[in-house]
Amino acid sequence: MSEIHITLADGSQRSFARGATATDVAMSIGPRLVKAAVAAEVNGHEADLNVALPDGASVAIITGDSDGGRHVLRHSTSHVMAQAVTQLFPGAKFSIGPAITDGFYYDFELPGAKTFSDDDLVAVDKRMREIIASDQPFVRSEMSIDDALELFADQPYKCEIIERVRALGDAPVDPDDDDVGVDAGEVDPGGTVSVYRNTPEFVDMCRGPHVPSTGKLGHFKLMKVAGAYWRGNEKGPMLQRIYGTAWDSRAALDEHLHRLVEAEKRDHRRLAVELDLLSFPNELGGGLAVWHPKGAIVRKQMEDYSRQRHQDGGYQFVYTPHLANGKLFETSGHLAWYKDGMYPPMEMDNGTYYLKPMNCPMHCLIFRSRQRSYRELPLRLFELGTVYRYERAGTLHGLMRIRGFTQDDSHIYCTEDQLQDEIASLLDFVLSVLRAFGFTDFTAYLSTRDAKKSVGSDEIWDKATEALREALVRHGLPFKVKPGDAAFYGPKIDIDVKDAIGRSWQLSTIQCDFTLPERFDLEYVGADNARHQPIMLHRALFGSIERFMGVLIEHFAGAFPAWLAPVQARILPVATAHEAYAQTTADALRAAGFRVDVVEANDQLGKRIRSAKLDKLPYVLVVGDDDVANHTLGVNPRGGEVERNVPVDDFVARLGEDVDAGVVLA
Partner RNA sequence: GCCCAGAUAGCUCAGUCGGUAGAGCAUUUCACUCGUAAUGAAAAGGUCGAGAGUUCGAUUCUCUCUCUGGGCUCCA
Nearer to RNA, 41 or 383 (CB): 383
List the interface residues with RNA, window 401-440 (CB under 7 A).
401
Find, among 49, 93, 91, the residue nearest to 68 by Cα.
49
User: Does 606 help bind RNA (rule: CB under 7 A)?
Assistant: yes
The answer to whether residue 650 is catalytic is no
* Residue 606, C-beta contacts closer than 8 angstroms, at least 6 positions apart: none
* Residue 613 binding RNA, by CB under 7 A: yes
Is 603 among the residues that bind RNA (CB under 7 A)? yes
Q: How many whole angstroms separate alpha carbon 15 and alpha carbon 10?
A: 15
Residue 619 C-beta: closest distance to RNA, Å: 10
* Stretch in the footprint of RNA (CB under 7 A) among 16-24, 52-60, 231-239, 431-439: 231-239
Interface residue with RNA among 601, 631, 656, 663 (CB under 7 A) is 601
Part of the chain binding RNA (CB under 7 A), chosen from 64-72, 144-152, 300-308, 484-492: 484-492
Asked if residue 580 binds RNA (CB under 7 A), the reply is no
Find out whether 622 and 610 touch, Cβ atoms under 8 Å.
Answer: no
Among 488, 498, 519, 654, which residue sits at the site for RNA (rule: CB under 7 A)?
488
Long-range contacts, stretch 144-148, CB < 8 angstroms, 24+ apart: 144/191, 144/192, 144/193, 145/191, 145/192, 145/193, 147/193, 148/193, 148/195, 148/205
What stretch of H or E contains 204? Answer: strand 203-205
Is residue 305 within 8 Å of residue 429, measured between CB atoms? no
Distance CA 185, CA 597 (A): 60
* Among positions 18, 126, 224, 258, the unique one binding RNA when judged by CB under 7 A: 224
Residues 339-398 touching RNA, rule: CB under 7 A, are 341-342, 357-358, 389-398
Q: Which of residues 528-567 bind RNA (CB under 7 A)?
A: 538
Query: According to the binding rule CB under 7 A, does residue 124 interact with RNA?
Result: no
Residues 86-115 that bind RNA (CB under 7 A): 115
Does 338 interact with RNA (rule: CB under 7 A)?
A: yes
Q: Shortest approach of RNA to residue 44 CB, angstroms?
A: 31
Q: Is 411 a catalytic residue?
A: yes
| Closest distance to RNA from the beta carbon of 533 (Å) | 19
Q: Is 407 a catalytic residue?
A: yes
- Please report how close the Cβ of residue 218 comes to RNA at its closest, in angstroms: 23
Q: Given 231, 372, 389, 570, which residue is catalytic?
A: 389
Percent helix, strand and coil across the chain, each rounded to 5?
Answer: 40, 25, 30
Active-site position among 107, 183, 409, 615: 409
Of 306 and 509, nearer to RNA (C-beta) is: 509
- Kindly state the smallest distance separating residue 292's Cβ from RNA, in Å: 11
CB 659 within 8 A of CB 568: yes
434 contacts: CB under 8 Å, gap ≥ 6? 442, 495, 497, 507, 508, 541
**Which amino acid makes up residue 501?**
I
Find the shortest distance in angstroms from Cβ 551 to RNA: 14
Q: Does 576 bind RNA (CB under 7 A)?
A: yes
Question: Which residues, including other chains, have CB under 8 Å from residue 458's CB and lie 6 or more apart?
Answer: none
Q: Are 70 and 201 in contact (CB under 8 A)?
A: no
What is the closest distance, in whole angstroms, from the C-beta atom of residue 614 to RNA in the complex? Answer: 5
- Ranges within 234-293 binding RNA (CB under 7 A): 234, 238, 240-241, 243, 269-270, 273-274, 280, 282, 285-287
Stretch that binds RNA, among 19-27, 41-49, 63-71, 224-232 (CB under 7 A): 224-232
Contacts with RNA in 492-521 (CB under 7 A)?
Answer: 509, 511
Question: Binder to RNA among 605, 631, 654, 656 (CB under 7 A)?
Answer: 605
Does the protein bind RNA through residue 85 (CB under 7 A)? no
Diameter of the chain measured on Cα atoms: 97
Contact assessment for residue 582 and residue 623, using Cβ atoms and an 8 Å cutoff: yes
Can 292 be counted among the known catalytic residues? Answer: no
Instruction: Confirm whether 206 is a catalytic residue.
Output: no
Residue of 13, 117, 457, 504 that binds RNA (CB under 7 A): 117
Q: Is 568 a catalytic residue?
A: no
Of 609, 617, 655, 659, which one interacts with RNA (CB under 7 A)?
Answer: 609
Out of 122, 577, 653, 665, the residue judged to bind RNA by CB under 7 A: 577
CA quadruple 498, 499, 504, 507: dihedral positive or negative? negative
Tell the smallest beta-carbon distance from residue 57 to RNA (Å). Answer: 38
Q: Among 16, 108, 116, 556, which residue interacts with RNA (rule: CB under 7 A)?
A: 116
Report if residue 636 touches RNA, rule: CB under 7 A: yes
Q: Does 212 bind RNA (CB under 7 A)?
A: no
N- to C-terminal Cα distance for the chain? 69
169 binds RNA (CB under 7 A): no
Q: How far is CA 448 from the centre of its chain?
A: 19
* Annotated catalytic residue 258: no
Which stretch in 33-41, 64-72, 427-435, 572-580 sits in contact with RNA by CB under 7 A?
A: 572-580
The DSSP annotation for 573-620 comes to ESSGGGHHHHHHHHHHHHHTT--EEE--TTS-HHHHHHHHHHTT-SEE
Neighbours of 309 (CB within 10 A): 19
CB 389 within 8 A of CB 402: no
535, 554 contact by CB (below 8 A): no
- Using the minimum distance from each CB to RNA, give the nearer residue, 302 or 623: 623
126-153: burial string, b at 16+ Cβ within 10 Å, e else: ebbbebbeeebbbbbeeeeeeebbebbe
Q: Is 79 helix (H, G, I), strand (E, B) or coil?
A: helix
Select 152 or 651, whichever has its Cβ closest to RNA: 651
Point out the catalytic residue in the list 301, 407, 511, 568: 407
Regarding 453 and contact with RNA (CB under 7 A), the answer is yes
The residue from 74, 538, 595, 616 that is catalytic is: 538
Question: What residues are labeled active site?
Answer: 360, 389, 407, 409, 411, 492, 538
